[in-house]
Amino acid sequence: MSAPKKLIVEYEDGTRREAVFGGLSSVGQAELSALGLCESGAADAGKKYLLLEWKDGWKEIAAVGGRALEILRYYTIERTEEIGRLSMETADGNPELLFIKRLPGRLESILFIDGDGPQAYALEEKAMVKEGGKTERYFYDKKRPEFKMKEPTAASSRYTVLLDSLRGAVEKKGASVSGLLTMSERDRIPIYKEFARALGLRAAERQQDVYDFLTVALEKLRNK
């Protein structure tokens, strides 16, 4: 099956509206895949990844759509409970939003892994807004001058450390990067589980995102 190009919605009166399939969020594409309207590979094509790191050392991988360009802002909202909101700037101007539920105020850093090169963000609360019973705490905001993205060299350094750790796990397993990439996905999964434990990587939402991220990282190692 070839890659999908359009999403068409037909109404009872015969009216049709279309949207570019690639413009859908990763969640939307995954839901269409679950309904059998496209293959999972098509839904996963072009994904980019976030490595979220907490102050207590916990790490999670989250996938975002291929439209994502950089982080727009990260802030928490407190009402009866605290929820983190991570907003990704996209090429079409419609931000992609992720919710951070685990200790949102203690998220320490984010590494956005894009084909054009990684971006690093150190999170530090520098602004707070109170309104009624709601408190918003801002840890990064592209539009506020007090927040700055880390230098490209810092991002590359952090990604290199991760890649070196993965290379070490591959060598300890007695495997090769090229050999792993030629294996079927079913055969790679048990090995990927070992690598994820060794690197301390967990899924923010879908375990498949961790496996897909490891494939991207292995391809990076193969091409170095």
User: Is pLDDT above 60 for 39?
Assistant: no
Average pLDDT taken over every residue of the chain:
86
145-155: average pLDDT = 91
| Confidence bin at 142 (pLDDT 50/70/90) | very high
12-16: average pLDDT = 78
For residues 192 and 210, is the Cβ–Cβ distance under 8 A?
yes
Structure-model confidence comparison of residues 65 and 85, the more confident one: 85
| Pairing mode, strands 201-203 and 59-64 | parallel
| Confidence bin at 1 (pLDDT 50/70/90) | very low
User: Is pLDDT above 60 for 45?
Assistant: no
32-40: average pLDDT = 60
- pLDDT for the residue 66: 81
User: Is pLDDT above 60 for 43?
Assistant: no
For residues 47 and 219, is the Cβ–Cβ distance under 8 A?
no
- pLDDT for the residue 154: 92
Domain positions in the chain: 6-44, 48-150, 154-223
pTM of the model: 0.73
